[in-house]
Amino acid sequence: MLPIPLCEPNLSGNEWQYVKESLDSNWLSGGSFLKKFEESVAEYTGATYAVGISSGTTALHIALLLAGVQPNDLVITTNLSFVATANAIKYTGADPIFLDIDPETWLLDIKLLAEFLKKQCYAEGQSCFHKATNRRISAVVPVHILGNMPDMNELAEIARLYHLALVEDAAESLGSFYKGQHSGTFGEAGTLSFNSNKIITTAGGGMLLANNEQAAKRAKHLITQAKSSTLEYLHDEVGYNYRLVNPLAAIGLAQMEQLPGFVEKKKEIAGLYTQQLAVLPEIKFQKITPDVNSNYWHFVISVKNSRELIQFLATHSIETRPLWIPLNELPPYRNDLYISNENHTQQVAYQGVMLPCSTSITLEQITFVCEKIIEFYP
């Protein structure tokens, strides 16, 4: 059996052709592929505006700025995410408040959020403040990890009640819907990532989803060095060079053509793993509620002895990975607030194993992975 990679990109569509066309056109920074790619993502997600940005991380940075996050603010997010979520919050000069996760869905615990806001925060004017520090809490950032989504209606309602901007880190959830509405379209802004391991890729890239023209225009302005004249080098604020370049957007357009097929395949992979591993009662899976139509971006199992399992599978040329270390345990974030009753994040994080789930994986490969996992747990 050949090595089974964790999650490989799938470039079997029009990628080469579109990249060639984009280079032939000599339009490198901006150009028609960027526009087409943005339109294609807007149409698929139902977002009114989609703005191509250099990465999921930089898109989140811009989304937080659009949401009005300012230096010294606090921003609530989940304790179980890829580090980029917390980094983007820090870039604005704000600090994160990490919230523990729901032990079943592995997403930000909304009950805990409501309890925290009620007991430890207060509203004044159109703002929410944290009692213990008197600092303003300006936004809440749910992260739709592995493609799953929390109860978005309830979350949006809580955000509204407490005057918190809702910014979704939808980096992993292109193709995921809550009650028929696409992830990233519920609040002030949502962000996507096209890093090479994501469900579609542009090698590196991201996108910001917004529901009003003003926000989309401001995003474009900020990511192009805040240039305010077409001729003069006049810049009206501190801007960023966060554009998504045309040849990468060309890859993205070809990937969007394949997205529906990729989502189908991811669902099939999740179904096969769930079915074949059901014989082992000690293995737990992420719970997806009936309101959520997940893209099943990455299949993860929760098991005891996760690190030993990872090593055992590696000896059979099966590439797997642990889940992310809880954000509150990472050196740059150890001094930030962590709100938790039972620290579910720790258990889920250290028991999580990401299984191979490239869209090119075969039934035989999935069966082989499952056989080896079953062999490991006698």
Binding site for ligand PLP (CB under 6 A): 55-57, 81-82, 84-85, 143, 169, 171-172, 193, 195, 206
Number of residues assigned to the chain: 378
Q: How near is the Cβ of 49 to ligand PLP at its closest, in Å?
A: 19
Minimum distance from residue 287 beta carbon to ligand PLP (Å)? 19
Q: Least distance in Å: CB of 170 to ligand PLP? A: 8
Give the whole-angstrom CA distance, residue 152 versus residue 169: 13
Which residues have a Cβ under 8 Å from the Cβ of 232 and sit 6 or more positions away?
Answer: none
CB of 57 to ligand PLP, least distance (A): 3
Burial string for 346-367 (b: 16+ CB within 10 Å, else e) reads bebbbbbbbbbbbbebeeebbe
Torsion of CA 198, 202, 205, 207, to 10 degrees: -80
CB of 192 to ligand PLP, least distance (A): 8
Least gap, CB of 168 to ligand PLP (angstroms): 10
Distance CA 260, CA 63 (A): 26
Would you say 286 and 106 are in contact if contact means Cβ atoms under 8 Å apart?
Answer: yes
Q: Which is nearer to ligand PLP, 323 or 373 (CB)?
A: 323
Cβ distance to ligand PLP smaller for residue 159 or 192: 192
Q: C-beta of 137: minimal distance to ligand PLP in Å?
A: 20
Q: Which is nearer to ligand PLP, 288 or 373 (CB)?
A: 288
Closer by beta carbon to ligand PLP, 55 or else 148: 55
Output the smallest distance, CB 171 to ligand PLP, in A.
Answer: 3
Q: In the chain, which ranges are E strands?
A: 49-53, 74-78, 95-99, 121-124, 127-130, 135-141, 165-169, 177-178, 181-182, 189-193, 206-210, 284-285, 292-293, 300-302, 321-322, 337-339, 352-354
Closest C-alpha to 336, from 165, 167, 85, 9: 85
Q: How far is the CB of 377 from ligand PLP (least distance, A)?
A: 28
Is 181 in contact with 48 (CB distance < 8 Å)? no
What separation in angstroms does the CA of 321 have from each of 84, 190, 193, 300, 352? 18, 27, 20, 9, 8
Contact 95, 74 (CB under 8 A): yes
The rounded distance, in Å, linking the Cα atoms of 105 and 123 is 29
Phi/psi region, residue 322 (left: phi>0; alpha: psi -120 to 50; beta: rest), is beta
Nearer Cβ to ligand PLP (52/356): 52
Beta strands at 165-169 and 189-193: parallel, antiparallel or unpaired:
parallel
For ligand PLP, give the closer residue by CB, 195 or 320: 195
Closer by beta carbon to ligand PLP, 324 or else 338: 324
In the complex with ligand PLP, the residue whose CB is nearer, 143 or 270, is: 143
Residue closer to ligand PLP, measured from CB, 55 or 306: 55
CB of residue 52 to ligand PLP, shortest distance in Å: 12
Give the CB-nearest residue to ligand PLP. 56
Q: Let me know if 83 is exposed, middle or buried by CB neighbors in 10 A (0-12, 13-18, 19+).
A: middle
User: Closest CB to ligand PLP among 136 and 150?
Assistant: 150
